[in-house]
């Protein structure tokens, strides 16, 4: 194997490979990236056995072939090479080494046989469809903060992507929850997605996927089966196992009868919550919302440390209400709002509260109150 | 006590106070900042018992007085207040609380009695002199990387500031070493400094001092005694105990008979060292320098992981030499060079090597070789 490649192309391809590779591996080959050169391109493949990513980059292939080297070390080397350099990689089968040359620098790295590299089995997918990168980004970006980190509730450790019945017909929906808060984000159902099984996309996959979604208008090919999901651009293919579990029936958590409506500038609200939360102890971080006609008072009382209070002008026309929330949860949902005012729908101080952006029901958040 | 102060002024003053405060304190009052309002200014004083910093800020004092509150919490609150806000602080002796008000936000924090705050005893100083901030910054910035982190060698845990005999007469000199490398930086002796005792300025003090030295032309008042050192601008006074120990006789570590001269572009050299070091294991990180006529080859050989080599065009006219160094040490001294080429003076592969910037002997570095 021998090929020459522009340093920028190589860096991009290797960067994503090394981010999938786990830092600590009991199986040595999982620390490596599989490099396959053929035709006019080279592919870089990395896996942690749950996720596999393949990056293709254009290269001048002088002799086809394949080998594996440490993903982290290759990434570090390429990162440190000067911008614009032409990099030549060639394997020396006799010594079991890969040589990397650029300008007056030369490196050789230990390799492991390509035959040992665990390539993920190809699957039959139940549904294949195309979605714009911007649409997928919104679905996952606005829901992922609510993913649970409790390992015992493994079926909550991801985003539940499925087809659901929206107000105006079927939608592609992403839901995440940790039992304290929930995010439900809808998008128009892409053609061909109707028959897809609902899948729980693991947190790490959601984070890796994010790197494919930078350009709004890119077309992303999505394939879904009961056990796997695949997202692909022209150059990157990300395949991931999905979480083997049943996502809870989230619909009954979303309140439908909340009638007390608060409308508030989300950015002002978030800043005020952040300020008053300063005095609370790290653990509880409870913020009290006291609502009266067109007036919201946020307050925190931490007996040892101090107290804080801030008033905001809001739109509220219902009866007086005092309700408490975890400050972090309030901040996180308020920071999802980016176009209109945040609208909170309350019932009593003990019931889950709903939040959305203006009257848009395509992104809905639920947060459980705390006793204050 | 009651005063109003511009948020930016308050933030600046409190920021430095909270950085001196240790995050974990067994003595509660050490987590607090002492606020003293009188006349037309307010002072903020914080200490860890070894270092004391006092920041003065202009304020509209409505009633003089003093109290203490959590430095970290006060800093967090002020940081989150909107830019340009007018902040009013007032203590409520009855409740033992300090009230902080800005716009529609109000906070009250628990206080501790000002009488409990350990104010550092005033001292007689043996020498008082003035130095430009730029001069002090160079002395400490270029030496502090070599400070030892070994707690058992406490007398190396700081920068030794003293008066020494330079080539052209007495100089103000800063020296730091950890036994593997050494930095010796000289500046013209300020008037009034001749009689100062040599003091070892602790690492934390060096870091806090850095914040006083941002504007080259500021005059810094320096006072030195056998046990303390003080640095003061118009608004900040930093007082610190010095390390109670004897700095070793560094002069005999600095080689004088090294004759093999290598001149190299410092930035190119540093980048090349960084690149070849990528393949070495974290622990040793030995880089071999192979010198031949006007040619330097940097190489690293890590049997398990791989090998790397890079060639640089240099100025070298002596006989062949192979010598090894810790990559991190080479990088650190090379990054001190900012105006001219780096000049290395070698003796044999087993002897300490000297590095300076061009022919400037006011900043000299020594690094011990490693066997490679």
Closest approach of chain A CAs to the CA of B96, in angstroms? 10
Contact A301, A290 (CB under 8 A): no
B308 chain-A contacts, CB cut-off 8 A: 77, 105-108
Residues making up chain A, counted from first to last: 372
Which of B271, B275, B312 is nearest residue A77 as measured by Cβ atoms? B275
Q: How far is CA B131 from CA B145, B167, B187, in A?
A: 22, 21, 10
State the Cα–Cα distance between residues B366 and B353, nearest whole angstrom. Answer: 6
The band of A92, judged by pLDDT with boundaries at 50, 70 and 90, is: confident
> CB–CB of B73 and A306 under 8 A?
yes
Kindly give, in sequence order, each residue whose CB lies less than 8 Å from that of residue B38, ignoring residues fewer than 6 positions away. B61, B64
State the average pLDDT over residues A294-314. 93
Closest approach of chain B CAs to the CA of A200, in angstroms? 38
Give SS3 for B245: coil
State the Cα–Cα distance between residues B278 and A181, nearest whole angstrom. Answer: 44
Write out chain B's pLDDT in tens, 372 residues.
Answer: 999 999 999 999 999 899 999 988 889 999 999 999 999 999 999 999 999 999 999 999 999 999 999 999 999 999 999 999 999 999 988 888 999 999 999 999 999 999 999 999 888 999 999 999 999 999 999 999 999 999 999 999 999 999 999 988 999 999 999 999 999 999 999 999 999 999 999 999 999 999 999 999 999 999 999 999 999 999 999 999 999 999 999 999 999 999 999 999 999 999 999 999 999 866 668 999 999 999 999 999 988 888 999 999 999 999 999 999 999 999 999 999 988 899 999 999 999 999 999 999 999 999 999 987
> CB–CB of A73 and B310 under 8 A?
no
> CB–CB of B275 and A73 under 8 A?
no
B105 chain-A contacts, CB cut-off 8 A: 272, 275-276, 308-310
Closest approach of chain B CAs to the CA of A294, in angstroms? 15
- Please give the structure tokens belonging to residue B327: 């990559």
Residues of B with CB under 8 A from a CB of A: 70, 73, 76-77, 80-82, 97, 104-110, 271-272, 274-276, 278-279, 304-312
Closest CA to A356 of A348, A347, A346, A345: A345
- Name the superfamily (CATH) of residues A127-252: DNA Polymerase III, subunit A, domain 2 (3.10.150.10)
If 0-12 CB within 10 Å is exposed, 13-18 middle and 19+ buried, where does residue A16 land? buried
Task: Tell me what pLDDT residue A282 has.
Answer: 66
> CB–CB of A107 and B278 under 8 A?
yes
Closest approach of chain A CAs to the CA of B165, in angstroms? 42
Q: Chain A residue closest to B306 (CA)?
A: A109
Cα pseudo-dihedral B74, B77, B82, B84, rounded to 10: -10
Closest approach of chain A CAs to the CA of B212, in angstroms? 28
State the Cα–Cα distance between residues B194 and B185, nearest whole angstrom. Answer: 17
B82 chain-A contacts, CB cut-off 8 A: 271
* Residue pLDDT, tens place only, A118-168: 999 888 999 999 999 999 999 999 999 999 999 999 999 999 999 999 988
State the Cα–Cα distance between residues B20 and B51, nearest whole angstrom. Answer: 7
Kindly give, in sequence order, each residue whose CB lies less than 8 Å from that of residue B302, ignoring residues fewer than 6 positions away. B279, B280, B281
Does A302 or B275 have the greater pLDDT score?
Answer: B275
Residues of A with CB under 8 A from a CB of B: 70, 73, 76-77, 80-82, 97, 104-110, 271-272, 274-276, 278-279, 304-312
State the Cα–Cα distance between residues B27 and B117, nearest whole angstrom. Answer: 10
Task: Tell me what pLDDT residue A263 has.
Answer: 97
Contact A366, A322 (CB under 8 A): no
Q: Chain B residue closest to A69 (CA)?
A: B305
Q: Is-same-fold flag (B127-252; B254-367)?
A: yes
B108 chain-A contacts, CB cut-off 8 A: 306-308
Does B372 or A46 have the greater pLDDT score?
Answer: A46
Is A285 a residue whose pLDDT tops 90?
A: no
Task: Tell me what pLDDT residue B193 has.
Answer: 96
State the Cα–Cα distance between residues A306 and A302, nearest whole angstrom. Answer: 5
Give SS3 for A364: strand
Which of B73, B106, B307 is nearest residue A305 as measured by Cβ atoms? B73
Contact A172, A186 (CB under 8 A): yes
State the Cα–Cα distance between residues B44 and A365, nearest whole angstrom. Answer: 44
The residue whose two tokens read 């050490």 is B30
Is A341 a residue whose pLDDT tops 90?
A: yes
The band of A265, judged by pLDDT with boundaries at 50, 70 and 90, is: very high
Cα pseudo-dihedral B261, B267, B273, B277, rounded to 10: 160
Residue in A306, A310, A311, A331 to test binding to B, most B beta-carbons within 10 Å:
A306
Q: Chain A residue closest to B76 (CA)?
A: A278
A70 chain-B contacts, CB cut-off 8 A: 305
Closest CA to A98 of A17, A34, A41: A34
- Please give the structure tokens belonging to residue B149: 């982190």
Contact B311, B351 (CB under 8 A): no
Element (DSSP H or E) covering residue B275 = helix B266-277
> What residue spans define the domains of chain B?
2-116, 127-252, 254-367
Which of B275, B306, B311 is nearest residue A97 as measured by Cβ atoms? B306
Closest approach of chain B CAs to the CA of A10, in angstroms? 16
Element (DSSP H or E) covering residue B17 = helix B7-20
> CB–CB of B308 and A107 under 8 A?
yes
- Please give the structure tokens belonging to residue B341: 């080429």
Which of A77, A82, A276 is nearest residue B278 as measured by Cβ atoms? A77
Task: Tell me what pLDDT residue B100 has.
Answer: 97
Query: How many contacts does A have with B, using Cβ atoms within 8 A?
Result: 90
B11 chain-A contacts, CB cut-off 8 A: none
Q: Please report the DSSP string for B312-352 in residue order.
A: EE-EE-S--EEEEEEHHHHHHHHTT--SS-EEEEE--TTS-
> CB–CB of B105 and A276 under 8 A?
yes
* Architecture of the CATH domain B254-367: Roll (3.10)
Residue in B91, B95, B275 to test binding to A, most A beta-carbons within 10 Å:
B275
Q: Which CATH class is domain A2-116?
A: alpha beta
If 0-12 CB within 10 Å is exposed, 13-18 middle and 19+ buried, where does residue B320 land? exposed
State the Cα–Cα distance between residues A232 and A181, nearest whole angstrom. Answer: 31
Q: Which residues pair with B140 in a beta bridge?
A: none
Contact B359, B343 (CB under 8 A): yes
> CB–CB of B80 and A311 under 8 A?
no
Is A57 a residue whose pLDDT tops 70?
A: yes
> CB–CB of B105 and A304 under 8 A?
no
CA B341 to chain centre: 25
State the average pLDDT over residues A287-301. 95
Q: Chain B residue closest to A279 (CA)?
A: B73
Closest approach of chain B CAs to the CA of A26, in angstroms? 16
Q: Chain B residue closest to A78 (CA)?
A: B275
Q: Which residues pair with B52 in a beta bridge?
A: B47, B239
Task: Tell me what pLDDT residue B284 has.
Answer: 64
User: DSSP alpha helices (H): ranges in chain A?
Assistant: 7-20, 71-80, 133-141, 203-210, 266-277, 327-334
Q: How far is CA A157 from CA A172, A178, A190, A207, A252, in A?
A: 19, 8, 25, 12, 20
Which of B80, B279, B304 is nearest residue A107 as measured by Cβ atoms? B279
* SS3 of chain B: helix, strand, coil, percent, to 5: 20, 45, 35
> CB–CB of B107 and A308 under 8 A?
yes
Residue in A279, A296, A300, A312 to test binding to B, most B beta-carbons within 10 Å:
A279
B107 chain-A contacts, CB cut-off 8 A: 276, 278-279, 306-309
Closest approach of chain A CAs to the CA of B221, in angstroms? 37
The band of A224, judged by pLDDT with boundaries at 50, 70 and 90, is: very high
pTM of the entire predicted model: 0.91
> CB–CB of A310 and B104 under 8 A?
yes
Closest approach of chain B CAs to the CA of A320, in angstroms? 20
Task: Tell me what pLDDT residue A284 has.
Answer: 65
Is A281 a residue whose pLDDT tops 80?
A: no
B97 chain-A contacts, CB cut-off 8 A: 306
Element (DSSP H or E) covering residue A83 = none
A80 chain-B contacts, CB cut-off 8 A: 271, 274-275, 278
């Amino acid at each position: 194997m021998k090929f020459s490649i522009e340093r920028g192309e190589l860096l991009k391809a290797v960067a994503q490979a090394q981010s999938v590779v786990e830092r600590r591996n009991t199986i040595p080959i999982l620390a490596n990236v599989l490099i396959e050169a053929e035709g006019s391109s080279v592919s870089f493949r990395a896996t942690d056995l749950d996720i596999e990513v393949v990056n293709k980059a254009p290269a001048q292939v002088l002799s086809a072939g394949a080998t594996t080297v440490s993903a982290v070390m290759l990434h570090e080397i390429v990162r440190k090479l000067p911008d614009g350099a032409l990099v030549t990689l060639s394997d020396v089968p006799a010594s079991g080494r890969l040589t990397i040359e650029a300008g007056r620098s030369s490196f050789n790295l230990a390799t492991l046989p390509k035959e040992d590299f665990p390539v993920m089995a190809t699957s039959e997918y139940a549904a294949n469809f195309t979605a714009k990168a911007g649409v997928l980004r919104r679905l996952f970006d606005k829901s992922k903060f609510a993913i649970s980190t409790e390992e015992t509730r493994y079926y909550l450790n991801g985003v539940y992507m499925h087809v659901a019945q929206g107000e105006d017909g079927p939608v592609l929906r992403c839901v995440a929850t940790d039992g304290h808060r929930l995010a439900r984000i809808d998008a128009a159902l892409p053609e061909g997605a109707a028959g897809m099984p609902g899948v729980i996309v693991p947190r790490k996959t959601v984070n890796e996927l994010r790197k494919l979604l930078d350009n709004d208008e890119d077309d992303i090919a999505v394939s879904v089966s009961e056990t796997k999901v695949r997202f692909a651009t022209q150059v990157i293919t990300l395949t991931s196992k999905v979480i083997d579990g049943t996502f809870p029936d989230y619909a009954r958590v979303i309140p439908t009868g909340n009638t007390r409506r608060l409308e508030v500038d989300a950015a002002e609200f978030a800043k005020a919550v952040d300020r008053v939360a300063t005095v609370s102890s790290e653990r509880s971080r409870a913020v009290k919302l006291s609502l009266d006609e067109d007036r919201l008072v946020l307050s925190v009382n931490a007996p040892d440390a101090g107290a804080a209070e801030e008033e905001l002008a809001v739109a509220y026309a219902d009866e007086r209400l005092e309700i408490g929330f975890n400050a972090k949860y309030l901040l996180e949902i308020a920071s999802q709002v980016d176009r209109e005012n945040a609208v909170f729908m309350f019932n009593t101080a003990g019931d889950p509260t709903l939040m959305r952006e203006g009257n848009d029901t395509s992104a809905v958040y639920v947060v459980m109150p705390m006793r204050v």
